[in-house]
Amino acid sequence: MKTESPRWFTSSYSSNGGDCVEVAVNLVASQGIVPVRDSKNVDGPVVDVRTAAFSAFVTGVQAGKFDAA
């Protein structure tokens, strides 16, 4: 069995200031996860986030739930 490799990308909304995360959504269908890593440390740790949790996070961001007070 061949293991699928993550295809990393940074959001198009990123200002390219260096404080970004990268995600690999190509593993959603086959593994049910969205890997997340620090764009400044591509060889560093990767956090595997379950698809439902990642979707809830994105919905919260879009709704402004994490904006600074």
Query: 47 has which bridge partners?
Result: 36
The H or E element containing residue 54 is helix 51-62
Q: How many residues does the chain have?
A: 69
pLDDT of residue 19: 75
Task: Tell me how far apart the alpha carbons of residues 59 and 54 are, in angstroms, rounded to a whole number.
Answer: 9
pLDDT of residue 13: 72
Per-residue pLDDT at 61 exceeds 80: yes
- pLDDT tens across 4-59, in order? 899 999 877 777 666 788 999 999 999 999 999 998 899 999 999 999 999 999 99
pLDDT of residue 2: 57
Task: Tell me how far apart the alpha carbons of residues 25 and 15 are, in angstroms, rounded to a whole number.
Answer: 20
Q: Which of 38, 40, 36 is nearest to 57 (CA)?
A: 36
Higher pLDDT, 34 or 2: 34
pTM: 0.80
